[in-house]
């Protein structure tokens, strides 16, 4: 959240020592209140910088020179504490598209929602959130799918709703990344394709959305366009769980590709290109730090889903299973 600030207007320098009356004029009618406002502003800036220092080391500790091909910490210093990031995959090709060319057509919808917990030298934890989860949103009549929170209130409402559902502590998630389809293609193609093992062929043509998928079963390498096909594919309105499983295949494939020889050397440039295509409050340095932390151990991501109650008939909205202690995620938080 942006900090408020008090800007002091410059005055002409006459070379004379300010008189008490001129100082009083600058301070206003109530100088005591002015001093309190200045103190509050400076205090807010200090608290913000202190909080940032709790998560990441000072900027001057960033590694110099080219990253080592076999040492993740050469990218940037690792975060001091676990960082939780909200990832929102949207169904438009680029951030500023006037229409998503999808269904329902209009402004971008949330096609996938994930929380990612990154901590130094620990496995990355990923929680896939069901976009079909029934929630109550401000200004809405009746229950709405969780995916609607992004279209109605952007990243702020989405983060607030998810934090309430899971019982996250204040300030979580710490950061966010909104990822359109082009950004996914840039990431995959920059890494050099992703290996997956498909358990069945996927073939589908949707002329309304100008979308098609044509992938064979078996082990293979997918480029950015093919990965987009796979994660977008859905056999029907009740097949969101299958789409989440296919997203898991891609997450594991990306994790495997990130650990290939010489990948580290090209990550700074790739992440810079990726950042141009996404909306995020992560600085370039923080993004490098998170990537370094994710690669600081040899384990694949630990991927989990929220426990959902069985469907009632043909309903598309889902409910959480009852009687689960808070917070629902992450465990041990």
Kindly report, residue by residue over 271-316, the tens digit of the pLDDT.
999 999 999 999 999 999 999 999 998 899 999 999 999 887 778 8
H helices present in 79-146, as ranges? none
- Residues facing residue 135 across a β-bridge: 144
Note the helical H segments in the chain. Answer: 20-27, 31-55, 148-166, 181-191, 224-232, 240-258, 263-277, 284-294
pLDDT recorded at residue 35: 47
- The pLDDT score that the predictor gives to residue 280 is 97
Rounded mean pLDDT, 28-53: 47
Angstrom CA distances, 283 to 138, 273, 295, stand at: 31, 13, 19
What's the CA gap between 228 and 185, in Å, rounded? 7
Question: Residues near 332 by Cβ (< 8 Å), separated by ≥ 6?
Answer: none
Mean pLDDT in residue range 62-74: 56
Residues near 125 by Cβ (< 8 Å), separated by ≥ 6?
116, 117, 301, 302, 304, 330
The per-residue pLDDT of the chain, averaged, comes to 82
Q: What percent of the chain has pLDDT over 70?
A: 78
- Compute the distance between CA of residue 71 and CA of residue 292 in angstroms, rounded to an integer: 9
The reported pLDDT for the residue numbered 120 is: 93
User: If you average pLDDT over residues 199-225, what whole number do you get?
Assistant: 91
- Return the higher-pLDDT residue of 165 and 209: 165
How far apart CA 256 and CA 49 sit, in angstroms, is 35
Say whether pLDDT at 224 is over 90: yes
The Cα 131–Cα 173 span in angstroms is: 17
Q: Give dist(CA 294, CA 123) in Å, integer.
A: 7
Kindly tell me if the per-residue pLDDT of 234 is higher than 70. Answer: yes
Residue 8 has pLDDT above 90, yes or no: no
Is the pLDDT reported for residue 6 higher than 60? no
Q: 127 or 42: which carries more pLDDT confidence? A: 127
What pTM does this model have?
A: 0.80
From first CA to last CA, the distance across the chain in angstroms is 23
**Bigger pLDDT: 160 vs 2:** 160
Q: What's the confidence (pLDDT) of residue 149?
A: 94
In which residue are the tokens 């301070």 written? 27
């Amino acid at each position: 959240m942006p900090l408020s600030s008090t800007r002091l207007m410059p005055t002409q320098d006459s070379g004379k020592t300010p008189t008490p009356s001129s100082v009083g004029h600058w301070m206003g009618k109530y100088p005591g209140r002015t001093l309190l406002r200045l103190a509050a502003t400076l205090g807010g800036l200090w608290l913000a910088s202190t909080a940032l220092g709790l998560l990441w080391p000072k900027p001057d500790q960033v590694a110099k020179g080219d990253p080592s091909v076999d040492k993740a910490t050469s990218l940037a210093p690792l975060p001091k504490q676990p960082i939780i990031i909200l990832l929102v995959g949207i169904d438009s090709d680029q951030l500023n598209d006037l229409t998503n060319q999808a269904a329902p057509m209009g402004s971008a919808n949330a096609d996938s929602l994930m929380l990612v917990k990154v901590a130094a030298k620990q496995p990355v934890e990923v929680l896939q959130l069901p976009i079909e989860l029934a929630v109550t949103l401000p200004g809405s009549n009746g229950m709405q799918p969780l995916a609607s929170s992004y279209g109605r209130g952007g990243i702020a409402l989405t983060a607030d709703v998810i934090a309430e559902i899971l019982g996250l502590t204040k300030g979580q998630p710490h950061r966010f990344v909104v990822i359109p389809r082009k950004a996914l293609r840039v990431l995959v193609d920059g890494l050099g394709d992703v290996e997956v093992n498909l358990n069945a062929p996927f073939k589908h043509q949707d002329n309304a959305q100008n979308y098609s998928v044509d992938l064979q079963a078996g082990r293979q390498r997918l480029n950015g366009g093919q990965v987009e096909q796979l994660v977008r594919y859905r056999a029907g309105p009740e097949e969101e769980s299958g789409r989440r499983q296919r997203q898991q295949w891609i997450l594991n494939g990306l994790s495997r590709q990130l650990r290939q020889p010489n990948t580290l050397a090209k990550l700074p440039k790739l992440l810079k290109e990726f950042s141009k295509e996404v909306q995020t409050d992560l600085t370039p340095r923080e993004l490098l730090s998170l990537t370094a932390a994710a690669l600081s151990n040899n384990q694949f991501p630990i991927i989990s889903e929220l426990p959902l109650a069985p469907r009632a008939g043909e309903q598309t909205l889902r409910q959480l299973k009852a009687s689960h202690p808070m917070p629902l995620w992450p465990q041990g938080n």
